[in-house]
Amino acid sequence: MRRLLMLALLLFSVMIPAPSPASDTVEFSALFIEKDNGTEQRGKIYVAENMSRYEIQGSNEVVVTRHDKKVIWLIFPKLRKYVEQPYLGEPKQNYSGAHEADTGDLSREFIEYKMVDSYRLKKFLVTVKYINGESMDRYYEWYRDNFPVPVRTESLDGNTSYEYVNIKLGRPPVEFFSQPKGYKKITMEELAELEDGTAKEN
């Protein structure tokens, strides 16, 4: 559960660009594939203006982030329970903006074009230099036209990657981002007790 929460916080506080005119707003749903040193995890993501929803396949856990309300709901459908946590970041207006432009200590070098599912993707080598100037990260990103975030991000050695597939543009149903009805609201402490009890039973 904690890993899922960290994933949601990371993606929506770091990867989403700054707000720009509403005409550039991109709302969508997609499947995502995360690979890490031989392990693979899949799930679904839904994004609307100031809202997001993550569903990790096989985990029976859902993370809904409401940037507008500054709240995160960790939802557990099998338990019919949910946990509410504050979202400490600034509201994010949308998935919009020119990600391909250099920003501060981040730079992108165009590598090549590649055709995938009838889309021409642009591959970049990304270099991120940290404030102290003593360390940096380098990785690859692929972009497609009319979609402002990378459809694929991959480490230089290819062992770690994150990819969106089956992307469908358009606003997902608003109920996907609503506070769960008919569910019992519990605290993180109560959730930990439930998880400990389940672990002992197994």
Assess whether pLDDT exceeds 90 at residue 197.
no
Percent of the chain surpassing pLDDT 90: 49
Tell me the CA distances in angstroms from 183 to 8, 14, 30, 51, 191, one per residue in order: 21, 30, 26, 20, 14
Assess whether pLDDT exceeds 60 at residue 76.
yes
Q: Which residue has the higher pLDDT, 98 or 30?
A: 30
Mean predicted confidence (pLDDT) in 13-38: 66
Q: According to the model, what pLDDT value does residue 148 have?
A: 81
Q: According to the model, what pLDDT value does residue 15 have?
A: 40
Q: Which residue has the higher pLDDT, 3 or 56?
A: 56
Q: According to the model, what pLDDT value does residue 116 have?
A: 78
Q: According to the model, what pLDDT value does residue 88 have?
A: 76
In terms of C-beta density within 10 A (0-12 exposed, 13-18 middle, 19 or more buried), how is residue 69 classed?
middle
Q: Which residue has the higher pLDDT, 15 or 67?
A: 67
For residue 192, what is the enclosing H or E element? helix 188-201
Q: Which residue has the higher pLDDT, 114 or 4?
A: 114
**Cα–Cα distance measured from residue 37 to residue 163, given in angstroms and rounded to the nearest whole number:** 15
CA-CA-CA-CA torsion sign (106, 110, 111, 114): positive
Tell me the CA distances in angstroms from 103 to 37, 110, 129, one per residue in order: 29, 15, 11
Contacts 24+ apart (CB under 8 A), 77-86: 79/194, 80/182, 80/183, 80/184, 81/183, 81/184, 81/185, 81/186, 81/191, 81/194, 82/180, 82/183, 82/184, 82/185, 82/186, 83/185, 83/186, 83/187, 83/188, 83/191, 84/185, 85/5, 85/188
Mean predicted confidence (pLDDT) in 137-149: 88
**Cα–Cα distance measured from residue 32 to residue 9, given in angstroms and rounded to the nearest whole number:** 16
Q: According to the model, what pLDDT value does residue 75 have?
A: 94
pTM of the model as a whole: 0.75
Q: What is the dihedral of CA 71, 76, 79, 83, to 10 degrees?
A: -20
